[in-house]
A and B are shown apart, each in its own frame.
Chain A
Amino acid sequence: MRLKLQISFDFVLTILVFITLVTYFLFYLITQRNVSITGLKREDKFLKALSISQMLVGDYGEPKDWWRYWTNPSVIKRIGFLNESYSYPNYISRIKAYAFTTTFCNSETKYESLKKLLGLDKYNVMVITKFSDGTTYLCPTFSITLGSPENITRKAFDSQNNQTATIFIAVGD
């Protein structure tokens, strides 16, 4: 005779299997979600770096001679290194690379305004412009934290000095 409230062996096993299955499904869902979010964040950072790099080597900026307004950066609507004297992509101006550093990169306030201009509300960015004669411009000029950065390297030509330039862009948390 069976007693009431007595738990059978089958019942215990069934509950165990049920709990195992539910745990598996939950673990599976959480893992997949994390993989997706990590992938999307990486992609997002890479695309930001790509668009910034394209802007630097393929755009004049707005106004075209924005480097003249380094004392009044609020006038500057868009940044680009392209030499305004020419109409070729990848034909950059060294003075713009220099002005970029002095206008946006040597203080935290200026750096925040740069991030705003580049549409980087949740990421940090680092830009290193190195010319083949060794001249290098860093942005920012102070140390920052770049968590899980995505990098992109571009090549350009500084015809006025007959030098090539390597532009390194990193976007991170």
Chain B
Amino acid sequence: MTLDPQTVVTSAAAAATAALLASGAIWSLARSAWKRLFGAAFLQAGAGVLALVYAAPYAAAILLSAGAMAMVGAALIVRSHEGAPAPDAGAAARPR
């Protein structure tokens, strides 16, 4: 029995989509802000992989959007936990 590479790739992508969508849906119902955020990002990533499977346009833009959302969310979580503003977070990193 030989496996058709196209079938293998499509099945793997379909499985990845199902896993991303299912875990995203479950995490988006969690109480923790981290888990809810990553639930939403996983659902977005699932939509991106679905776009790849369907050969829909803008698959790369959808995957980028999932990444951007996770990064903006992570920045906001850091902000919400840091309390008082840092003296100047950018100054230390800049060369003098």
A interacts with B: no
